[in-house]
Amino acid sequence: MSTTFTLDTSTSRAHPVPEPVRRLTVPAIAARKKDGVTAEPVVMLTAYTARMAQLLDPHCDMLLVGDSLGQVIYGLDTTVRVTLEMMIAHGAAVVRGSYRSVVVIDLPFGTYEGSPEQAFHTASRVLRETGAAAVKLEGGEVLAPTIEFLVRRGIPVVAHIGLTPQAVNALGGYGARGRSEAEAKKIAADARAVADAGAFAMVIEGVMEPLAKAITAEVKCPTIGIGASPDCDGQVLVVDDMLGMFERVPRFVRRFDDIASRITEAAASYAAAVKDRSFPGEAELYRPKAKS
Ligand code: KIV
């Protein structure tokens, strides 16, 4: 049985898990797609902290510790500057905070593209030091030999094709991909290559909808869309985007809440209560016991 989540609740704010829960497995996710059909779409969100993982876990099949944490958590301008140490620290936290979902961790830019051996060294360190089940890496045909190398050595891989944010300097921005026929053909070839190399799932980001639909119909492994198609075998979003933490989000994001406004209101209420000395109140104070 894989990791079961337990915490010492006498010293932690974390919610205990009522009973041991069996974690989903990589083969179980891959098996969702049978004969080209996925009856139950794969639900994936990013998570970067233990507490957020606890909250998302019951609702997700996969939690992605995305290198989007560079922008979301660290305020970096791109994912290019994210380090392996950041990914491992947040990956371990998400594994500790989850008990059901398959945890997938992004390999950061510059830690896997050099050679299959470099990728193996990085990916094995990520799995060993975090307890996660799989890694994700960006790239298509060029990375197919690396994916095969990892998979044959027991490292499950999620591929990421289409708009690949780590290549922002080469792409010149985050615009949707696959508008021209040549680019669409290249992305379709990338999809075939990573699927044939043994990726157990692939993220398709920011591509023309008919292309994502066609790839989904063609490849054996589940496709996880983000700015892609409702016909993908699953969907993923950056959790802070869908919670409404940011004012500017890409067109493909749906805000399922407006958490930023709620945090602003709560912070303003707290500040007012501190200033008018209504906080802390009687119920929030320790008083010495009266002597008998
Ligand atoms: O880094 C990330 O969060 C991702 C998702 C957007 C798929 O790769």
So where are the chain's domains? 2-242
Q: Is 14 exposed, middle or buried (0-12, 13-18, 19+ CB in 10 A)?
A: middle
**In sequence order, what are the beta bridge partners of 157?**
135
pLDDT value of residue 21: 79
CB 82 within 8 A of CB 43: no
Quote the pLDDT of residue 1. Answer: 41
Q: Are 28 and 2 in contact (CB under 8 A)?
A: no
Q: Which residues contact 111 (CB under 8 A, 6 or more apart)?
A: 84, 118, 119, 122
Closest residue (by CA) to atom 2 of ligand 1?
Answer: 66
Model pLDDT, residue 19 = 61
Residue 75's pLDDT is what? 97
Q: Would you say the pTM of this structure is higher than 0.85?
A: yes
Give the model's pLDDT for residue 3: 47
Q: How far is CA 1 from CA 81, 137, 262, in A?
A: 36, 27, 40
Catalytic residue from among 205, 218, 282, 284: 205
Is any ligand 1 atom within 6 A of the Cβ of residue 238?
Answer: yes
Which residue from 179, 213, 181, 215 is spatially nearest to 196, judged by alpha carbons? Answer: 215
Q: Is 183 a catalytic residue?
A: no
What are 160's strand-pairing partners?
A: 138, 203
Q: Measured between alpha carbons, how far is 121 from 107 in angstroms, rounded to an integer?
A: 11
Q: Whose CA is nearest to atom 5 of ligand 1?
A: 66
- What is the pLDDT, as a whole number, of residue 6? 53
Which pLDDT value is given to residue 12?
A: 53
Question: Is the minimum distance from the CB of 203 to ligand 1 under 6 angstroms?
Answer: yes
Nearest CA to ligand 1 atom 1: 66
CB of residue 106 inside a 6 A radius of ligand 1: yes
Residuewise pLDDT in 10s, the chain (292 residues): 444 455 544 455 555 565 667 899 999 999 999 999 999 999 999 999 999 999 999 999 999 999 999 999 999 999 999 999 999 999 999 999 999 999 999 999 999 999 999 999 999 999 999 999 999 999 999 999 999 999 999 999 999 999 999 999 999 999 999 999 999 999 999 999 999 999 999 999 999 999 999 999 999 999 999 999 999 999 999 999 999 999 999 999 999 999 999 999 999 999 999 999 999 999 999 999 988 7
Q: Tell me, in angstroms, the distance from the centre of ligand 1 to residue 70's CA.
A: 11
CATH of domain 2-242: 3.20.20.60
From first CA to last CA, the distance across the chain in angstroms is: 56
Of 203, 250, 240, nearest to 72 (Cα)?
A: 240
Check if 201 has its Cβ closer than 6 Å to any atom of ligand 1. Answer: no
Is residue 130 classed as helix, strand or coil in its secondary structure? helix
Cα separation, 59 vs 2, whole angstroms: 19
pLDDT at 192: 98
Within 13 Å of residue 159, how many CA atoms lie on the same side as its CB? 34
The alpha carbon dihedral of 258, 261, 267, 273 has a sign of negative
Ligand 1, from 45, 67, 78: best to mutate by most atoms within 8 Å of Cβ? 67
Residue 86, amino acid: M
